[in-house]
Amino acid sequence: MLRTFVKRSAVVLALFMGVSALVLLRSTAWTASFGGRSSGQRLERAERSPEWRDGRFRNREKRTTPPISNRAMLRHQLFGGEQREPLGPVPVVRRSTSDYATPPATGLRATWIGWSTVLLEIDGRRVLTDPIWSERCSPSTLVGPKRLHPPPIALDELPKIDVVVISHDHYDHLDMATIRFLSAHGARFVVPLGVGAHLERWGVQAARFHELDWTESVEIDGLTFTATPARHYSGRFPGRGSRTLWASWVIRGPRHRVFFSGDSGYSSAFRAIGKAFGPFDLALIKIGAYDPAWVDIHMTPEQAVQVDRDVGGRVMLPVHWGTFNLAFHAWTDPPDRAVAAAEKAGVTLVVPRPGEFVEPAALSPALRAPDRPWWHLGGESVGPISDRD
């Protein structure tokens, strides 16, 4: 009798797991979210890249920190005492299409949407970096890191986007649902080598995107986009790591230049980028999701400020923090440390609320030196949550 019960229980459990898996697959479309694989001419081009060695892309600079065990990471994840999420609602400045009807008088304006997503208005064109509007940065809509604040503007309220810039294919930087929406509304894309396989899997026509190796450039609507080195890795599925390239980006218009670090550890390559393409009117540099064990691939806030100095950024806007809980540090640590380092180094740094306009040539005094950092939240939000700036 016991044996029969065990067998029946095993069958019921197997059926339950099978049905659950089917429901998960249907409800999340996560098989499509894994993206595509490079083959044919795309793979041959990747293999010709100087960054491709031994079957995958590699960083130019060798690892300097020993890898941490999965057990130690899990213990830190479960039992670390950091306050990794905001204590109150994040003060989001609400935006709508009408806010972008009039171009910025100075020719350059940025709206931090959250994480590494920035809407750039540069010399008459609109550019989005690493756009993610989904509720989770995950292949699943049911599980995975969830947003800590809503986007300041709804996806269907966005003004027409001319070009989308992608730094690499991790889920918090390359979001399938957002890419499909932007593609359906006429956007074009510039991506590192191999990422085009994901776009094609999601229905983006090959004529609407450009795949670049480091130092390669493409001109679109009067803007020049150059893929530049970064120090990171890639992959959307276990066992397929680093089959696509990662990059930082230089965006040049007739009047303005913007640098986007993407996701990267500190690298000597940033000094070379500054010499070749700087100075920059605006530098979008990652400051969050760091840990001593990840220093080779995720720079600290102090290193981020150094990157701004390396590339010649006149105004630094920090990204890659605040929207998702993807690290072991406290939620306030990245901006606190970046502000302190910037003051010490004499770097002009602004930490806008999501949705707040940043016009580098016309920075408001409140944005340069706020009375109280808005990210120091208590039980309620600090600063107004307004419909307009």
Answer whether residue 3 is part of any domain.
no
Report which DSSP code applies to 242.
T
pLDDT reported for residue 172: 97
Q: What is the mean pLDDT of residues 284-305?
A: 94
pLDDT confidence tier of residue 8, bands split at 50, 70 and 90: very low
pLDDT confidence tier of residue 70, bands split at 50, 70 and 90: low
Answer whether residue 29 is part of any domain.
no
How far is 355 from 363, CA to CA, in rounded Å? Answer: 15
pLDDT in tens, 212-225: 999 999 999 999 99
Q: Is the pLDDT of residue 369 over 70?
A: yes
Answer whether residue 389 is part of any domain.
no
pLDDT in tens, 246-294: 999 999 999 999 999 999 999 999 999 999 999 999 999 999 999 888 8
Domain extent, residue 210, equals 97-368
pLDDT reported for residue 259: 99
pLDDT reported for residue 29: 57
CA distances from 46 to 11, 38, 183, 196 (A): 46, 8, 24, 11
Answer whether residue 179 is part of any domain.
yes
Domain tally, the chain:
1
pTM of the model: 0.89
Q: What is the mean pLDDT of residues 340-350?
A: 97
How far is 388 from 341, CA to CA, in rounded Å? Answer: 30
CA distances from 333 to 50, 82, 205, 329, 350 (A): 37, 10, 41, 7, 15
Answer whether residue 339 is part of any domain.
yes
Average pLDDT, the chain: 89
pLDDT reported for residue 335: 96
Answer whether residue 117 is part of any domain.
yes
Q: Residues 118, 121, 312, 272: is their CA dihedral positive or negative? A: positive
Does 304 or 7 have the greater pLDDT score?
304
Q: Is the pLDDT of residue 50 over 90?
A: yes
Answer whether residue 70 is part of any domain.
no
pLDDT reported for residue 6: 38
Answer whether residue 185 is part of any domain.
yes
Q: What is the mean pLDDT of residues 19-27?
A: 44
Report which DSSP code applies to 174.
-
Report which DSSP code applies to 280.
B
pLDDT in tens, 85-136: 999 999 999 999 999 999 999 999 999 999 999 999 999 999 999 999 999 9
Residue labelled with tokens 């609507």: 221
Q: Is the pLDDT of residue 35 over 80?
A: yes
pLDDT confidence tier of residue 21, bands split at 50, 70 and 90: very low
- CATH number of the domain residue 167 falls in: 3.60.15.10
